[in-house]
Amino acid sequence: MATVLKIPAKFHPITHLPETKVQKRRVAAYARVSTDSEEQQTSYAAQVDRYTKYIQERADWEFVAVYTDEGISALNTKHRDGFNRMVADALDGKIDLIVTKSVSRFARNTVDSLTTVRKLKEKGVEVFFEKENIYTLDSKGELLITIMSSLAQEESRSISENVTWGQRKRMADGKVSLPYKHFLGYRKGADGLPEIVPEEAEIVRNIYRWFMEGKTPTGIARTLTEQGVPTPAGKEQWCSSTVKSILTNEKYKGSALLQKRFTVDFLTKKSKVNEGEVPQYYIEESHPAIIVPEEFELVQAELLRRQNLRRQYNGKSVFAARLVCGDCGNFFGAKVWHSNSKYRQVIWQCNHKFQGVCKCQTPHLQESV
């Protein structure tokens, strides 16, 4: 009968460290809180302090660092700087073990969680989830991680659905809330409702007045920048899109259309314009108006008129894109005669007067006329 002699393994199959050699493991911790509230900040500081002591008290562990993220959601790892820095250091061979409170603190997204754990596992880096008592290099580790991550992801889905339900219930009840930090003209009043900020409201009224006097959103943006007026977000440079959003926002006439956008996926937080997929709520006279409704509607009509012009609107003259040729239907444009002499004058004539086979019979007009 053959004799079988067992030769014990000398190295760990994943970490590749000698099985017999006692070597300190370089250990880091990860701590995260998902809001910036004072209560959560206390929890955050406590986590950092606890894990620092927890690692330093172990004779077989060597403390590396506590990596942290404050006020960041765990739904994906894209914007978590502390987390991403920790993973990068681990992959660079600076960390052997990562300690964290639970699977949900690490990630509430199953894909992110498993991808990160497997990536670390390939480099021999282990993660220990204290609450669930899971070591990822353990034979049962990946199965347990999959189950726990899925449960955490479902918890996030449930929270997201509850938050969405609460927001839609507020909308259905006619309660209006504005993004005050990025909204010009209003602040949150003592009763929780929008309240007019007089100096900001004057800027809004100027924007509406300048537009009806013939200026374009680009021209208005240039004027506001030159005057040193800060944007709704507090920046120095105005954009035409910001001006146009103010001109088209019904909240300035005291009404509110709610749920213009909605979140498509709770994991990615991706949102899109509501094109009828979910209900919208329109509330009239929900808060004090800065622009009277009649003026607001005139601005919308003028926006539509300029949009439907057959050429780009020009706000440099009150006559631009307003005088139409009776022969061919094209617009009149300004022409300068005798530009370098004392007989200089500005006249208006059809832009296509000499472009067709037969020239238009409409006469030119002096600007004075």
* pLDDT, position 73: 53
pLDDT by residue (tens digit) across 52-63?
Answer: 999 999 988 999
First to last CA, the chain: 122
CATH class, 180-307 region: alpha beta
Average pLDDT of the chain to the nearest whole number: 79
Domain with CATH 3.90.1750.20 in the chain: 180-307
All CATH 3.40.50.1390 domain ranges in the chain, comma separated:
25-155
pLDDT tens figures, 96-106: 999 998 877 77
pLDDT at position 170, please?
A: 66
Give residue 85's pLDDT.
93
pLDDT at 238: 92
Predicted pLDDT at 74? 47
Contacts of 308 (CB under 8 A, 6+ apart): none
CA angle (116, 120, 123) in 5-degree steps: 155
How far is residue 21's CA from residue 172's CA, in Å, rounded to a whole number?
Answer: 67
pTM for the full model? 0.47
Give the residues of the chain that fall short of pLDDT 70: 1, 9-22, 34-43, 71-79, 108-111, 148-149, 152-153, 156, 159-177, 259-260, 262, 264-269, 276, 310-318, 321
pLDDT of residue 295: 93
Q: Residue 54, CB half-sphere, CA atoms under 13 Å: how many? A: 18
**Distance between CA atoms of residues 238 and 337, nearest Å:** 37
> Alpha helices of the chain — where are they, by DSSP H?
38-56, 81-91, 103-106, 110-122, 141-172, 198-212, 217-226, 240-248, 293-307
Token code pair at residue 201: 């409201």
Residue 231 in contact with residue 220, Cβ under 8 Å? no
Q: How far is CA 183 from the centre of its chain?
A: 15
Best CATH choice for the domain 25-155 from the list 3.40.50.1390, 3.40.50.2030, 3.40.50.261, 3.30.43.10: 3.40.50.1390
Ramachandran angles phi, psi of 3, nearest 5°: -100, 130
**What is the model's pLDDT at position 134?**
83
Per residue in 38-50, pLDDT (tens digit) is 555 566 778 888 9
**How long a stretch of residues is the chain?**
369
- How much is the pLDDT for 266? 60
What is residue 214's predicted lDDT score, i.e. its pLDDT? 82
- pLDDT given at position 298: 93
Residue 345's Cβ-side half-sphere holds a number of Cα atoms within 13 Å equal to 10
User: 26 Cβ partners below 8 Å, 6+ apart?
Assistant: 61, 62, 64, 94, 95, 96, 97
